[in-house]
Structure 1
Amino acid sequence: MSETSAGDIQDLRQRVTWLARTANLSPGKTASGRWLRDMSALGHAEVDWDRGRWAIAPATATLLPAGDGTVVLTGRRPLDLIDQLEAECALFVAEPGVTDEARLPTPATVYLQTESLAELDQALSANEVRYVGCAARGIAQRLQRVELGEPAGQPAWGTPVEHLVVGGARGIDFARGLPDGDGLCRFLVNGRQLYRYRVGGDWHRTEHAPGIWWALAERHERMVRWRSERQVHGEDIGTLFVDQGAPLPPLQARALVLCSGLPTQFGNTARTAIYRNIPRSVADLVARSVRQVVSVID
């Protein structure tokens, strides 16, 4: 991806699946899509699902919150970049641990540590890597609150429709048919899943993640929890938990993932997405953007 710079999503997914099989992995049909979403959250790639295109992000280094001068590399990673940086900086490479067999491993996380950000910036610039400060905080501060889209027509007569169901044995899932009242619906058009939200007699355009979070807020469901683990310079730092079935929009996921540089982890027992090293202020901003209030747990 770093050498190609951009391309077609379907072609990339086929290549990712083929490479996984050469490593004795057996990815399911959705594994390459999940992997690409992980790559987006890590800041390595920008993904336009509507147009079916991807592009590698520029090579950048972002400061981790409460990380004592530790930065993580994101974006374009030419073959010799790590060797060049290792000759000039204190560098640590963390291989991802995969606990969910349905997910493909992402590239190793590369950390750099320095006592002088000015010197680090100089070394990075010499290798065409841009230092951008703390991207996690910057993204979180600019997040827009999810909203429903413009008015749209209802699904065509005879189109198979599913509606969002919250609670019960399946948690958050879709069931056949239209909802009894207001709610999120999805249906296929030319092989592509479209999402519409019904409010009274009106229909609105939406997308998968924003539509789900809007529906959860309408039901007063609280899906975001945060646990404090330490204080750094008077700021509470902890772990954020999001119930599975409620996928975060791309920028919200990126704000959380870039607090640690590690891909989203998943707890299969509690069925939660887990994000580490999250300042309380970032947790609040992300939660507010998806119409939630953080529940603080012990």
Structure 2
Amino acid sequence: MTDTGGLLLRWASEQGAGALSDIKQGMWWLAAKHCPDIEPGAAGRWLRDAVSLAYMDIDWRNRRWCAAPPVLTRLPKARGLAVLTGSRTAAFDARLEQAAQEGPLEVLRVSSARPPRDIPLPHSLIVQFDDEAELTAWAAGLGASYTPCFALQGAALLPPLRLEVRTSAPEFGKPLEQYDLHRGEYQPVRGPKGDGLYRLKRRDSKRVCQVLRGGQWYETSHEQGVYTVLGARTRRADVLRWLPEKDCGRQRFGTLFVDWGYPLPDLHRRVAVMCCGLAPRINAQAENLAYDNVPKTVAMKIAESLGQHLGGNNDE
């Protein structure tokens, strides 16, 4: 194994679980040997992509992570394609190599494009199959769980955003930032300026996000906080758009575009990513992320869960 992304996934898979600070430190040490010019935020972006691709799960609040178990799932209406995701220990890779050699299914290693100064992601393992029963048996032989189609199942279970966990107000006089929805960034403020999404450091030095609504403070993640505040606005935001494919018979499938500054929460992003098995494409000029092979029904479920309108051809 020579690629950096695969090496990082192997290391995380063998570790199994641990503190978020430890895996970030280990990532920097391993990645720096192969990617000397990586940007300061590259480790965080790699971890979020790893969560989206179902390689690991992260408890951001408690700063813990764990490797996800191997899972094989079909891609929605992708003409006999499935994706094999989850952890990849040395033992699992050995079983996979033997299974690929013996057939009858073919395993394709497909890369997700990333900017030069980002840490490369592992190759996605796309599996070609003709018969679902054969696919299920192949997964069992590998020791991987099989689920018919996570993208469709997960989309149906996406919950609406709710502010549930109340918390105390930020300490007076302590550094405080408020998220600017127009700029897509946090701005320092001297004190709360009405309802909105705020970021602060707790006494234990952990940076947290809180939403102020109607005089009450609530715990939140950055992604959920963005959409919670965005959904409270009366004017339509149109930060999510879906455009259909042009191929005959594929009009119900297309690309979901998400504007920069409005990142999808972990579960919503995983649902979108598991439609094609690859990390979203980065469109620097258009300033958005593009998720491919997303059924319109899935895109609508994502938008509905986030309290957003789903734009399209008629909204351009």
Which category describes the TM-score, using the shorter chain as reference length?
over 0.9
Contact 2:95 2:142 in 1 (8 A): yes
**Partner Cα separation in structure 2 for residue 206 and residue 15 of structure 1:** 27
The reply to whether residue 258 of structure 1 matches residue 274 of structure 2 is yes
5+ residue gaps in structure 2?
1-11
Query: Alpha carbons of 1:122 and 1:196: their partners in 2 closer, same or farther (altered >3 Å)?
Result: same
Identity over aligned pairs, percent: 31
For 1:70, the equivalent position in structure 2 comes to 81
**Partner Cα separation in structure 2 for residue 269 and residue 108 of structure 1:** 25
For 2:304, the equivalent position in structure 1 comes to 288
Contact 2:151 2:274 in 1 (8 A): yes
For 1:20, the equivalent position in structure 2 comes to 31
Q: How far did 1:202 drift?
A: 2.3
For 1:47, the equivalent position in structure 2 comes to 58
Structural mapping, 1:103-118, within 5 Å: 103-118=118-133
Query: Alpha carbons of 1:129 and 1:139: their partners in 2 closer, same or farther (altered >3 Å)?
Result: same
Q: How far did 1:109 drift?
A: 0.7
Deviating 4+ runs (over 4 angstroms):
230-235
The reply to whether residue 224 of structure 1 matches residue 235 of structure 2 is no
For 1:174, the equivalent position in structure 2 comes to 186
The reply to whether residue 272 of structure 1 matches residue 274 of structure 2 is no
**Partner Cα separation in structure 2 for residue 254 and residue 194 of structure 1:** 22
Contact 1:66 1:232 in 2 (8 A): no
Task: Give CA deviations for 1:95-115 in whole Å, capped at 9, x if unaligned.
Answer: 2322x2343111001111111
How much is the aligned-residue C-alpha RMSD, in angstroms?
Answer: 1.8
**Partner Cα separation in structure 1 for residue 270 and residue 248 of structure 2:** 22
Aligned residue among 259, 262, 277 for 1:246:
262
For 1:145, the equivalent position in structure 2 comes to 160
TM-score by length of 1: 0.93
The reply to whether residue 30 of structure 1 matches residue 19 of structure 2 is no
Query: Alpha carbons of 1:51 and 1:196: their partners in 2 closer, same or farther (altered >3 Å)?
Result: closer
Structure 2 residue matching 1:239: 3-state secondary structure: strand
**Partner Cα separation in structure 2 for residue 76 and residue 208 of structure 1:** 26
Structure 2 residue matching 1:273: 3-state secondary structure: strand
For 1:201, the equivalent position in structure 2 comes to 215
For 2:225, the equivalent position in structure 1 comes to 211
**Partner Cα separation in structure 1 for residue 267 and residue 170 of structure 2:** 29
Structure 1 residue matching 2:166: 3-state secondary structure: coil
Contact 1:252 1:286 in 2 (8 A): yes
Aligned residue among 60, 76, 91 for 2:71:
60
Structure 2 residue matching 1:131: 3-state secondary structure: strand
Contact 2:181 2:261 in 1 (8 A): no
For 1:91, the equivalent position in structure 2 comes to 107
Contact 2:245 2:251 in 1 (8 A): no
For 2:252, the equivalent position in structure 1 comes to 236
**Partner Cα separation in structure 2 for residue 24 and residue 207 of structure 1:** 30
For 1:160, the equivalent position in structure 2 comes to 175
**Partner Cα separation in structure 2 for residue 204 and residue 136 of structure 1:** 30
- The one-letter code sitting in structure 1 at the alignment partner of 2:123 is A
Q: Which structure has more helix as a fraction of its residues?
A: 2
Q: How far did 1:255 drift?
A: 0.1
